[in-house]
Amino acid sequence: MFAPEKVVILQMGSDNAIVSRTEYEPDAMPKDFKLEAGTTYFIVETHKRDNTGNLIVSREIYCRDVENIETFFVRADGVCVKHWTQIVGK
């Protein structure tokens, strides 16, 4: 697994327009994340680099009623650890 550099949450409306964009350091993901009123679905992007330094962006799409999301951060020893964020405001 490549080390995450940042996590971006894009909240999307029913017209597929961005309602809100929030960016986090991987080790600073909140315990709870509140969805905006106009959010129909949201996308979680994880930005990382491969062994040659090329940017890789993975995306996961979630419906509004999901209970939590999982992201990863890198500990000081280089091990990637899973973090759970609860989705609130559904």
Task: pLDDT tens for the chain, 90 residues: list them.
Answer: 899 999 999 999 999 999 999 999 999 999 999 999 999 999 999 999 999 999 999 999 999 999 999 999 999 998 999 999 999 976
Task: Note if the pTM is more than 0.85.
Answer: yes
Query: SS3 of 69, please?
Result: strand
Token pair belonging to 57: 């962006």
Cα–Cα distance between 81 and 28 in angstroms, integer?
13
pLDDT at 71: 97
**Do 40 and 64 contact (CB within 8 A), yes or no?**
yes
Query: Where are the domains positioned within the chain?
Result: 4-88
